[in-house]
Amino acid sequence: MSTPSRPLRVLMLVVAWFHIVSVMVGVVGLTIGGGLGMPLALLEGSIFTSFVGPAVILGVVVGGSQVLALVAQYGRFRVAWGLHAAAGLIMIIWIFVELAILSEWSFLIGTYFVSGQVQTVLAVLALGAWPVPFFGRVPLLAWRGHDQLEPQPARESVQLDVDGISQR
């Protein structure tokens, strides 16, 4: 597997750092900042009684996945691109769960949803999902699984008579 292009690697670093900084601001805001101005009534019906629980999950799960992806990328580990894909998917899942609990949409929720998608797509491209040439076509027979263009020999057919005994 080849190394992704420099622009792709830099874009993944930018998105992951954006997520890490956002997570740190979110954790501080949810704990010390008193819930970022959100009323506790938003958590009614959930398992949480304060914003500390979501802050811990945000920091450990969402932030931790981003940190792992960055450490792997800076360490030049091959697993970095897969960790970036996982971190992007974790961000998307976080947003879905947040929407399910809060039942409120905001510009920030949309921003983090899209940035999670961007991170996932960039990572999948880094893993080699980018076809070369991009609009190249596969021959029809190869697409259907035929490896050769030579005609295949005809198969012998079997017919059943009324009694269920095969005849050739």
Which tens digits make up the pLDDT trace of 85-99? 999 999 999 999 999
* pTM for the whole structure: 0.76
Domain count along the chain:
1
Evaluate whether 43 touches 51 at the Cβ level (below 8 Å): yes
Q: Helix or strand or coil: residue 159?
A: strand
Domain contains 166: no
Q: Is the pLDDT of residue 27 over 90?
A: yes
Instruction: Provide the pLDDT for residue 148.
Output: 54
Antiparallel, parallel or unpaired: β 166-167 and 159-160? antiparallel
Count other C-beta atoms under 10 Å from residue 122's C-beta.
23
Look at residue 1 and tell me if it is in a domain: no
Q: 157 lies in a domain? A: no
Does residue 148 sit within a domain? no
Domain of 63 in residue numbering reads as 6-129
Look at residue 62 and tell me if it is in a domain: yes
In a domain, 145, yes or no: no
Inside any domain, residue 137: no
